[in-house]
Amino acid sequence: MLILKDGRVKVIIEIEESDIRPVYICEKFLVSALSNYFIHDRYGVIGMDDSVLFLQILDSSKLKHDRTSKLEQFKNIEKSIQSVIPLKGSSIDS
């Protein structure tokens, strides 16, 4: 989901309900961080704002919380991503 302000991407919200593997989680962030534009079927080419918020929501409801290390893995991925923000040349800064 994209939230626009003045015709530019201001917020990117990724909701992941099925594939919560680390490579897929990181891929969503990196693709967004490296992008300067989004192409939308209805609105065409939409540029990124100077400052963009990236929010990724992971569905852990199907996990057996007492038998998984996924939650700790999610926290580690979050820390790793936050440690590299802002990426050089990227609009994502939070």
Regarding pTM above 0.75, the answer is: yes
Residue 30 included in any domain = yes
Does residue 35 fall inside a structural domain?
yes
User: For residue 75, is it within any domain?
Assistant: yes
Q: What is the DSSP string of the chain?
A: -EEEETTEEEEEEEEESS---HHHHHHHHHHHHH-SEEEETTTEEEEEEEEEEEEEEE--TTS-GGG-SHHHHHHHHHHHHHHHPSPTT-SB--
- 91: in domain: no
Domain membership of residue 7 (yes or no) is yes
Range of the structural domain that residue 53 is part of: 2-84
* Per-residue tens of pLDDT for the chain, all 94 residues: 899 999 999 999 999 888 888 898 899 899 999 999 999 888 899 999 999 999 999 888 887 878 888 888 889 999 999 998 888 889 998 6
Considering its fold, how many domains does the chain have in total? Answer: 1
